[in-house]
Amino acid sequence: MTEIVFDSVSHAFGDRKVLRDISLRITERRVGIIGSNGSGKSTLARMINGLLKPTSGTVTVDGVDAARKGAQVRRKVGFVFTDPDTQIVMPTVAEDLAFSLRRTGLGKPEIAARVDEMLARFGLHEHADHPAHLLSGGQKQLLAIGAVLIRRPEVIIADEPTTLLDLRNARIVADALDAVDQQVIVVTHQLALLDSFERVIVIDDGAVAFDGTPDAAVPAYRALVE
């Protein structure tokens, strides 16, 4: 598994301190990050592939500094956002998947093969030439996941990927993430998604409040919010 290390990481927006001296080493295959709104959990996740930079401390991915060498890290670490509309950039489903492979140096046959693979994997073949923004919410999130997976990263970070979905589509997206071979880190409020995870990190007021297995971490989080 990829090794992700937070070494004394703090982060501030103006006078507001969002993260406070976080030190973590993540190597597990399935890791959840939970916490109340505004606790800093999404900020933590976005630092892993260099979308945000620490105010102090370092975040490394297999020894590579995510703040200094973000482009290199992002080839290894893919990111799925809460709202898939922020990731969909091309008119049709197939074009959006292919867009993720721009500047990879792959030839047209390999790109077409990977696009077909993702379309089949997520049940989107019949929608290949349809407007991407007219898909259902669940289908859009599957497309967003496919657009990350098509680059074959080693790690996938998903920031509240089911928050905007109804129960049925949330389950479909959760199952899709559970089925991938890659290391997966999920920020979520949907605690049931964490049952099969190896590790859950609870963030409270910018600090690690608990770090352990789901059956210990979820009650610790509930105790915090109650």
pLDDT tens, 145-197?
999 999 999 999 999 999 999 999 999 999 999 999 999 999 999 998 999 99
In a domain? residue 111: yes
Residue 185 lies in a domain: no
Q: Is residue 34 one of the residues assigned to a domain?
A: no
So what's the pLDDT on residue 201? 98
Per the structure, the complete domain to which residue 145 belongs is given by: 90-152
Q: Is residue 116 part of a domain?
A: yes
Q: Is residue 22 part of a domain?
A: no
One-character DSSP codes across the chain: ---EEEEEEEEEETTEEEEEEEEEEE--SEEEEE--TTSSHHHHHHHHTTSS--SEEEEEETTEETTTSHHHHHTTEEEE-SSGGGT--SSBHHHHHHHTTTTS---HHHHHHHHHHHHHHTT-GGGTTSBGGGS-HHHHHHHHHHHHHTT--SEEEEESTTTTS-HHHHHHHHHHHHH-SSEEEEE-S-GGGGTT-SEEEEEETTEEEEEE-HHHHHHHHHHHH-
Q: Does a structural domain hold residue 133?
A: yes
Asked if residue 47 belongs to a domain, the reply is no
pLDDT tens column, 135-147: 999 999 999 999 9
Total count of domains within the chain = 1
Q: Does any domain span residue 163?
A: no
**pTM of the predicted model as reported, rounded to 2 decimal places:** 0.95
